[in-house]
Amino acid sequence: MAVRNSLYSVLSSFQIRFFTWRHGEQVGTDEFGNTYYREKGAAKGRRERRWVIYAGEPEATKVPPEWHAWLHHTHAEPLARNSPYHRPWVKPHKPNATGTLEAYRPQGSVLKGGERPRGTGDYEPWTPG
């Protein structure tokens, strides 16, 4: 079964890259190495297609907000580095770390190897009167 999924993945990747080569125009890349494309010569009266080819594992949370806005036709062009969005106080984009080794693990989490603190005893369950 794994060989079948692997073959499917390779063929799918080939199809996407072939389609991109034939119909895509590169628009730019982001700090994660993802490459963004738009459709060359979109038909009149139809929105152009926009897509991303991920660097590494395909994960939608790797798309920064400014590119997400462009992909979803919120902005006609990707935001420039001097746009109002890019301010000194805006934190850099981080992909979702859920399910990875970098995921947040609170104090006492089993995955962190710790033990939960004991209850304080101030909890009283509600009972209908």
Give the pLDDT mean for 114-126.
75
pLDDT digit string (tens) for 45-90?
A: 788 899 999 888 888 888 888 888 899 998 888 877 677 777 788 7
CA–CA distances in Å: residue 8 to residues 14, 58, 67 = 10, 15, 28
Which class for 127: exposed (0-12), middle (13-18), buried (19 or more C-beta within 10 A)?
exposed
The string of pLDDT tens digits covering residues 22-49 is 888 999 998 889 999 999 887 787 888 9
Domains of the chain by residue range? 2-101
Q: Which two tokens stand for residue 117?
A: 């603190």
Among residues of the chain, what percentage have pLDDT more than 70?
A: 87
- Measured distance CA(36)–CA(29) in Å, rounded: 6
- CB count within 10 Å of CB 38 equals 16
pTM as predicted = 0.65
d(CA 83, CA 66): 10
Q: In whole numbers, what is the pLDDT of the chain averaged over residues?
A: 81
